[in-house]
Structure 1
Amino acid sequence: MFARVKDVTLLLGRIGVAVVFLAHGLQKWDNGIQGTAGFFGKMGIPLPEVAAVFAMTVEILGSIAFIVGFALPLVAIGYVVVSVGALLSVHIDNGLTGQGGYELVFVLALAGLALGFNGGRISLDHLLFWSKRERRELQPA
C-alpha cells in the first residue's frame, strides 16, 4: 500500500515540476528562438541562440518526457543547467526572496533533480529499464 502511495506522489511531483518548466518553455516558444536569444543576449548569456534552443528543448520536450517518466536523470540535469543559468543571469541580484528572487528557481532545480533520480514505478524508465533489471535480480542463480 505504501509503495503505491509513494509512486503516485512521485508522479504528482514530476507533473508539478514539469508543468512549471513547460509553462516557461512555452513562453520562450511564443517569443521564438530569435526573441528568446535576444533576451538571453541582453542578460549576458554566452551563445544566446544555442542557449535559447537548449532551454526551449529542455523546458518543452524535457517536461513532456519528465511527466511520462522517460530519461528522468537526463531531464533532471537539464533542469538544473537551465535553472542555474536563470539564477545566475536573472535572479541572483534580487536575493532569495521577494520580487524576482531565486527561491522558485532554486526549489524547482532541486526538486527536479531529486525526482529525476527517483521517479518512482509509474514511469517509462521503470517500465523499460528497472523492471527488467529487478526481474533478473530476483531469478535464482
Structure 2
Amino acid sequence: MTARDNRFGDWGLTVLRVVTGIVFFMHGYTKVFVWGFEGTAAGFGQMGIPLANVAGPFVGLLELLGGLALIVGLATRWISIPLAVTMLVAIVQVHLAKGFFAPEGYEFPLTLLAATVGLTLTGGGALAVDNLIAARRSAPAAKRAGSTRPVHA
C-alpha cells in the first residue's frame, strides 16, 4: 500500500471521529450530569479559567452535545472548531505548566486538539450524517442537470 492509496481513508476518519466523539461526550456527561453546572464552574474557577460560571457550563454542554454530533457525524467540521479551541485553552491555561505526560500534563488534550483540527480539515469520513445531508442537497442539482437536453441545430 502506498501513501497515495487511500481506499480506507474515509474509514480511518470515521474511527477517529467516533472515538473522539465518545471521549468528548463522556467528559461532557461528567461535567453536566455528575458534577453539575455548579461543580463544573467551581472546578474551572480552581483551575483559573476566566468567567468560570459561564465557561464551565458552556464547555460541559459543548463537550456533551459536540461529542454526540461527532459520534453521528453531524456538522463535523463546524463542531470540531470550538472543541479544538477548548483543548487549546485547556492546554495553555491548565496543562502546559504541568509538563507533557498524563494525567495532568498536556499529552491528552494535545491529542484531542490534533484530532479535532484533523476533523476540521478533512471532515468526518464514512458513515456520517454530513454525507447524507450532502447527498440530499446535491440530488436536486444532479436531477436538474440530468434533465436538460442539448439543443440540436
| TM above 0.5 | yes
- Report the count of equivalent residues: 140
Offset, 1:34: 0.5
Percent identical pairs in the alignment equals 34
SS in 1 for 2:105: coil
In structure 2, what is the Cα distance between the partners aligned to 1:47 and 1:86? 14
Larger radius of gyration: 2
**Residues 96-135 of structure 1: matches in 2 within 5 Å?**
96-97=100-101, 99-117=103-121, 118-129=123-134, 132-133=137-138
1:48–1:8 distance in 2 versus 1, CA, 3 Å: same
1:79–1:113 contact (8 Å) kept in structure 2: no
CA RMSD of aligned residues (A): 2.5
Q: Unmatched 5+ residue regions in structure 2?
A: 149-153
Q: Is the 8 A contact 2:102 2:108 kept in 1?
A: no
CA distance in structure 1 between the aligned counterparts of 2:115 and 2:10, rounded to whole angstroms: 15
2:52 is aligned to 48
Q: Deviations over 1:4-25 (max 9, x none)?
A: 6332222111111111112211
Give the structure-2-normalised TM-score. 0.78
TM-score when normalising by structure 1: 0.84
Per mean C-alpha deviation after superposition, the further-off stretch among 109-118 and 13-22 is 109-118
- The residue type equivalent to 2:30 in the other structure is Q
Aligned equivalent of 1:15? 18
